[in-house]
A and B are shown apart, each in its own frame.
Chain A
């Protein structure tokens, strides 16, 4: 029950958690300007905040493209194979 209550408390404070997460996002990008970069292997390694954009755009693209495919050719009724 303790665990269920703990999770419930987190759920009840969703606003606070969201604020913390937004702050964390800003912080990581800010820190990314400061950290040293040894031997980058890829042009994105040199651009501060590149991986934030990469993660965000990658996530949106993945959902959009795959949901599009699922709604056109890949998705079938559950009894498709009989």
Chain B
């Protein structure tokens, strides 16, 4: 207990120092903080830390075992790369929001009870939404609100499930749930987790919000929300058949939309759904091999997906454009960004000697060994689509294709360094998978570099490439958007607003009229009677009080001038301070 420092605490308390540090110190601090947290995670030994009784509940802040360690390992490592990538950003609110977001994610990772899970779960949602709002466009503000509403909805499902489960088990322990004993409570918790994992059909918030986030914000967002959800699913729901099926549906669904999308970061967002689908399927299959695969793939995915978002973000940062139909011919001006992006692209596609090859295959082999040939083949089909849109279509139309006439420079040095380092890690894991396999919760006997696996992968990739170049013309990006499940809530909400404007406001106006004409007359009659008494007796006393009240009212009015976002920020800040102080005590 004494020697164990919760890494979430480092980020959450560390965030408050950021605005007070001058330029160069701030940059050093932003790199030292995650480096120290990473070191802390490396030093951890399995055990239970920071557990106490609160209101009769057993609260466990620090459950350290192999499963939580592998996620904490990559979360802290990723935070270093993310802060390095965003080091040039002047807006302090972004690293601060990222700190709360990462802190929430680590809090969930080490939580041993549902109450702790829930609190940090909400912290993630509120921390991350500021990374969307920080872009400060009308589109990002609206997308941020939709993102927040969806996550509040997911949080409520989770909370309802937690309450119901408490009712019939009498404890809040966050432990493995056997599929046979699962009832409404367990499935509500599952649905709450599934929303954050972007499981179809609860996925639409992801490709809606991520492309609207800031360049650096999206790099953070692509790493934490969905992978924390994979962690909690792996913790509580391994072997649930519904997850195996839905996971495979996600892998296909994501690549299908990515094939027709135009916005670079939206293509990558759909591929998060697809890649997280592999992990969800791995959890659902639930064997040691498949669960290892889910963790390994989460680890590898965080790195190469961040790399892809960094590459696409570099283009957006330097050109101000993210739609493929507005881009093209950048290879002469941003060759390094292209090379780093392509490393991410071939890692996600599972090229031999890159990280996807050694992580994705654990899940696919897991499906095969558990005798789910259909799931296995569909996952291989999804990897065809992955190479097609992330490995070929996106870089082709952004860096080659037609010449857009843009002549951007390479991005700032810190962004290039972050991309270079991440590229190296993707390659390192690919050629030395043991480094990754040693972190996994179960011992690994699988060998990715078998002749059959090698041959299968190379064939699929080469012939996907052939198909791409044959149908290149058909894939020319179009300046369009594609309908997805967010259509439902966006249209229903628009309908609600319309109803509000017409019907409810109409009724309100009618009522106001009635009130004005009838009630006011009666009131005025009363008032005349009172005023006579008032003028003589009470005025003297009241006047003085009134002046005092008005003065106070003015002060309140000044405090109320801000918008809803500022209130949320303030409320969050107070919340974190209270929680932080409580934890320290």
Interface residues of A, Cβ cutoff 8 Å to B: 3-4, 6-8, 11, 21, 24-25, 28-29, 31-32, 35-38, 41-42, 44-45, 49, 51-56, 58-60, 62-67, 69-70, 73-78, 80-82
Min C-beta distance of A70 to chain B, whole Å: 4
Pick from B260, B376, B451, B494: contact of A67, CB below 8 A: B260
- Which of B255, B368, B373, B459 has most A Cβ within 10 Å? B459
Indicate if the CB atoms of A74 and B459 lie closer than 8 Å: no
Of the candidate stretches B87-95, B331-339, B544-552, the one touching chain A is: B331-339
The 12 listed contacts between A and B (C-beta, < 8 Å) are: A32-B455, A35-B452, A37-B452, A45-B452, A51-B459, A54-B381, A58-B385, A60-B470, A60-B471, A70-B480, A76-B482, A80-B483
Known: A32-B455, A52-B459, A82-B494. 10 other contacts (CB 8 A): A4-B331, A32-B459, A51-B463, A52-B463, A55-B459, A58-B464, A62-B381, A63-B474, A75-B483, A78-B479
Q: Does B492 contact A (CB under 8 A)?
A: no
**Contacts of A64 on B, CB cut-off 8 Å?**
471, 474
Pick from B255, B336, B467, B482: contact of A55, CB below 8 A: B467
What CA separation (Å) do A67 and B468 show in the bound complex? 13
- The 9 A-B residue pairs with the shortest CB-CB distance in the complex, in nearest-first order: A59-B467, A41-B368, A3-B335, A55-B463, A55-B460, A56-B463, A70-B260, A51-B459, A58-B384
What CA separation (Å) do A4 and B333 show in the bound complex? 7
Beyond A41-B369, A45-B452, whether A60 also contacts B467 by CB under 8 A is yes
Indicate if the CB atoms of A75 and B462 lie closer than 8 Å: no
Q: Does B256 contact A (CB under 8 A)?
A: yes
Chain B residue nearest to A32 (CB atoms) is B455
Indicate if the CB atoms of A55 and B461 lie closer than 8 Å: yes
What CA separation (Å) do A74 and B253 show in the bound complex? 13
- Which of B381, B461, B475 has most A Cβ within 10 Å? B381
Indicate if the CB atoms of B462 and A21 lie closer than 8 Å: yes
Min C-beta distance of A45 to chain B, whole Å: 7
Indicate if the CB atoms of A76 and B483 lie closer than 8 Å: yes
Beyond A60-B471, A62-B385, A63-B474, whether A29 also contacts B459 by CB under 8 A is yes
A-contact bits for B466-478, CB 8 A (1 contact / 0 none): 1110110011001
Min C-beta distance of B307 to chain A, whole Å: 17
Min C-beta distance of A42 to chain B, whole Å: 4
Beyond A31-B455, A41-B376, whether A54 also contacts B460 by CB under 8 A is yes
Min C-beta distance of B387 to chain A, whole Å: 8
Indicate if the CB atoms of A66 and B260 lie closer than 8 Å: yes
Interface of A is mostly: helix
**Contacts of A53 on B, CB cut-off 8 Å?**
463
Within 8 A of A (CB), among B34-63: none
What CA separation (Å) do A19 and B450 show in the bound complex? 27
Number of residues from B at the complex interface, CB < 8 A: 52
**Contacts of B450 on A, CB cut-off 8 Å?**
38
**Contacts of A45 on B, CB cut-off 8 Å?**
452, 456
Pick from A3, A4, A25, A67: contact of B474, CB below 8 A: A67
What CA separation (Å) do A51 and B458 show in the bound complex? 9
Min C-beta distance of A14 to chain B, whole Å: 11
Indicate if the CB atoms of B368 and A56 lie closer than 8 Å: no
Q: Does B465 contact A (CB under 8 A)?
A: yes
Indicate if the CB atoms of B368 and A42 lie closer than 8 Å: yes
Min C-beta distance of B322 to chain A, whole Å: 13
Chain A residue nearest to B335 (CB atoms) is A3
**Contacts of A63 on B, CB cut-off 8 Å?**
259, 388, 467, 471, 474-475
What CA separation (Å) do A41 and B333 show in the bound complex? 47
Indicate if the CB atoms of B381 and A58 lie closer than 8 Å: yes
Indicate if the CB atoms of B467 and A42 lie closer than 8 Å: no
Pick from B380, B478, B482: contact of A54, CB below 8 A: B380
What CA separation (Å) do A73 and B466 show in the bound complex? 28
Pick from A6, A49, A66: contact of B459, CB below 8 A: A49
Min C-beta distance of B285 to chain A, whole Å: 13
Pick from B259, B369, B460: contact of A51, CB below 8 A: B460
Beyond A42-B368, A55-B384, whether A74 also contacts B462 by CB under 8 A is no
**Contacts of B459 on A, CB cut-off 8 Å?**
28-29, 32, 49, 51-52, 54-55
Indicate if the CB atoms of B463 and A59 lie closer than 8 Å: yes
Within 8 A of A (CB), among B77-127: none
Within 8 A of A (CB), among B417-462: 450-452, 455-456, 458-462
What CA separation (Å) do A62 and B387 show in the bound complex? 12
What CA separation (Å) do A11 and B332 show in the bound complex? 11
Within 8 A of A (CB), among B373-395: 373, 376-377, 380-381, 384-385, 388
Beyond A41-B373, A58-B464, A76-B481, whether A81 also contacts B256 by CB under 8 A is no
Indicate if the CB atoms of B470 and A52 lie closer than 8 Å: no
**Contacts of A42 on B, CB cut-off 8 Å?**
368, 373, 376-377
Beyond A62-B388, A63-B471, whether A78 also contacts B377 by CB under 8 A is no
Beyond A35-B452, A41-B376, whether A76 also contacts B462 by CB under 8 A is no
Chain B residue nearest to A77 (CB atoms) is B480
**Contacts of A55 on B, CB cut-off 8 Å?**
384, 459-464, 467
Chain B residue nearest to A43 (CB atoms) is B373
**Contacts of A49 on B, CB cut-off 8 Å?**
459
Beyond A35-B452, A38-B452, whether A66 also contacts B480 by CB under 8 A is no
Q: Does B490 contact A (CB under 8 A)?
A: yes
Min C-beta distance of B572 to chain A, whole Å: 28
Chain B residue nearest to A81 (CB atoms) is B490
Pick from B259, B377, B470, B480: contact of A75, CB below 8 A: B480
Q: Does B413 contact A (CB under 8 A)?
A: no
What CA separation (Å) do A52 and B461 show in the bound complex? 8
- Which of A25, A62, A76 has most B Cβ within 10 Å? A62
